[in-house]
Amino acid sequence: LQQLYAPLDRLGTLYRQLNANATDAEKLFNLLGQEVEITDAPDSEPLVVTDGVIEFDNVCFSYDGEVQALKDVSFRIGKGESMALVGESGSGKSTILRLLYRFYDIDSGTIKIDGQDISKVTQKSLRQAIGIVPQDSVLWNDTIGANISYGKEDGAEDEEIIAAAQAAKLHDRILTFPEEYDTVVGERGVRLSGGEKQRVSLARMFLKSPAILVLDEATSALDTETEREIQRSLAELAANRSSLSIAHRLSTIINSDQIVVMKNGAVIEQGTYHDLIERGGQFAAMWRKQIFTEEEMMAETEALGPG
Ligand code: ADP
Ligand code: MG
């Protein structure tokens, strides 16, 4: 029995440690004993972002050394350009974003930002340059204000935090909390819904205002109206920056400078919306299907009537 309890107890301790002082996702990775450990190269220099040009060149990657999650993935996002990743679930979209943030090292190929190999720059500088809104947002057991300013290295003024919350359509909600911006959220405080957590991540992004924007289905948990409003602020933020996003709704990617279509870890089509529709391939087929589904859903909503 002792043998059984010892590891359980260790887990309990780890869990308490996590709750007490987890400050970032990497710490979480390490505590859970993931063997992947990303370290700075001995001669690493800080990344210098000039134009925010992102290049994937024949990138291959496997999580477990067996299944190839990415196979020879190549693309280039030019200065200020936006790229949208589409493809069925499990096709490798989130993996691409994680690799750009260097959560894992790749098996072969190169990933460069402004000509600098990301495995050769300091992780700190890399992660400062990139703002990421992940698929599942994580909150710390801290105030909502601190949660929003998390990720901004040099701290933030109250006005900046409020402006970020406004851009993410979260400000009005925060004003309903007992201590407004000083209200503790998370497990030990006010519980936030999935959509609210997602808006905290978006507020972090607005505050950090990074050179490169990375969005993983960043508005998937929001209602259509809120999504539309946030899309406007996001479009403003993205105007002069490079961005890489996974959109859950095809209608939000029409205006991307480039669309990359993934299947089974490989790029199967690449081009603008018009290129891909004209080609009449997989994207065009997905598009027809999605439009059909959206129209169907609209019809259903209308049939149900108001209220
Ligand atoms: P998408 O975002 O397009 O749905 P992912 O990039 O998350 O797809 O996943 C690509 C492939 O990698 C899938 O086969 C998935 O099961 C696998 N995968 C994703 N995350 C992990 C992980 N942490 N460990 C092992 N395999 C993973
Ligand atoms: Mg994903």
CA distance 94 to 263: 13
Work out which ligand 1 atom sits closest to the CA atom of 63: 25
- The best mutation among 62, 63, 91, 246 to test binding of ligand 1, ranked by most ligand atoms within 8 Å of the C-beta, falls on 63
Residue 94 Cβ < 6 Å to ligand 1 = yes
The closest residue, in CA terms, to atom 1 on ligand 1 is: 90
The answer to whether 258 and 83 have CB atoms below 8 angstroms apart is yes
pLDDT of residue 61: 98
Tell me the CA–centroid distance for residue 176 and ligand 2, in Å. Answer: 33
* Token pair in block for residue 145: 């204000």
Tell me the CA–centroid distance for residue 70 and ligand 2, in Å. Answer: 13
Residue 134 Cβ < 6 Å to ligand 1 = no
Tell me the CA–centroid distance for residue 27 and ligand 1, in Å. Answer: 21
CA distance 25 to 108: 25
Pairing verdict, β 142-143 and 108-113: unpaired
Can you give the C-alpha Rg of the chain in angstroms? 21
CA distance 206 to 167: 7
pLDDT digits (tens, 9 = 90+) for 197-226: 999 999 999 999 999 999 998 888 888 888
What is the CB-side half-sphere exposure of residue 198 using CA atoms within 13 A? 17
Residue 264 Cβ < 6 Å to ligand 1 = no
Residue 64 Cβ < 6 Å to ligand 1 = yes
CA distance 145 to 180: 9
φ, ψ at 290 (rounded to 5°):
-65, -45
Residue 149 Cβ < 6 Å to ligand 1 = no
Render 52-79 in DSSP notation, one character per residue. Answer: --EEEEEEEE-SSSSS-SEEEEEEEE-T
Residue 3 Cβ < 6 Å to ligand 1 = no
From 112, 8, 109, 119, select the one nearest 59 (Cα to Cα).
109
pLDDT of residue 294: 65
pLDDT of residue 231: 85
The closest residue, in CA terms, to atom 19 on ligand 1 is: 95
Q: Which residues surround ligand 2, an ion (CB under 5 A)?
A: 94
CA distance 90 to 198: 21
Per-residue pLDDT of the chain (307 residues; tens, 9 = 90+): 444 444 444 444 444 444 434 445 544 554 444 445 788 988 999 999 999 999 999 999 999 999 999 999 999 999 999 999 999 999 999 999 999 999 999 999 999 999 999 999 999 999 999 999 988 888 888 999 999 998 777 788 999 999 999 999 999 999 999 999 999 998 888 999 999 999 999 999 999 999 999 999 888 888 888 888 888 888 889 999 999 999 877 767 888 999 999 999 999 999 999 999 999 999 999 888 877 666 666 665 555 554 4
pLDDT of residue 15: 46
pLDDT digits (tens, 9 = 90+) for 42-59: 899 999 999 999 999 999
